[in-house]
Structure 1
Amino acid sequence: MNAIDGGSGGSVTPVGIVLVSHSPDLASGLRDLLTQLSAGLVPVAVAGGTDDGRLGTSYALVAGAVAEADRGAGVLVLPDLGSSVLTARLVLEDLGREDVVLVDAPFVEGAVAAAVLASTGAGLAELVATAQDARRMPKF
């Protein structure tokens, strides 16, 4: 069974999460939140900004973050907006792996929902659905 078919509680190794943002600070701050909410059980890597720390996105940073977050159970990639989607798509296309999935979900809410669920041992497919469903969660 590959990681995307994994079910809830069946995975000893957690699914990794990659946060792709134009802002290094935004990505790092969200990683800090996810680490706390998941009790440090979920590998969360960031690809924030350009290679020289400016606002933007970087192919090398995204590829490195995927490698960093990958523990063998798959990787969920969440972009913030615009060119982060394009950059992440290029990286994932070059990787050619079914267990590394780019998710169209709200950046913060999707990441929080995925990280909390990942900390329970849920599989990649369940995390993808949960991150996408975060779009429909009311704030009040």
Structure 2
Amino acid sequence: MAKNKSPEGRGPSQRMLRVGEVIRRGLSEVLSRGEIHDAELNRMMITVGEVRVSADLRIATCYVLPLGGDGKDDLLKMLSKNKHELRMVLTQKLKLKHSPELRFQLDHTYDQMEATRAMLAQEDVARDIAAPDHEEAPE
């Protein structure tokens, strides 16, 4: 009998990835259409970068970022305040058997990409990347 839980040290299962993506798309749609009864939240443009679901599918951690990066702290407060309504709307929209608890965190992926670009743009790193590798593997 296969386990739904991914073993320690391995990545998420296909089921976890699939459910996370379904929730991400649904949450993005709900937020972009302004289906929540919070005028402040509906005015914000929000990017849902990723949703990670726990192995038992009971907790969904949503990585979000306001468009332009302004108002990050306000965004987390507003989403946390409205998480019960978001959960209800998502459950109805996606017809999920069990509605996961929604948790929100800031998405730092774009910051990490910028740091990587900056590092690769450094002169000494660019020189090392462009240099041919003259060492041959020992036989």
TM-score clears 0.5: no
Decide which structure has the larger Cα Rg and report it. Answer: 2
Higher relative CO (Cα under 8 Å, sequence separation at least 6) belongs to 1
TM-score (norm 1): 0.28
TM-score (norm 2): 0.28
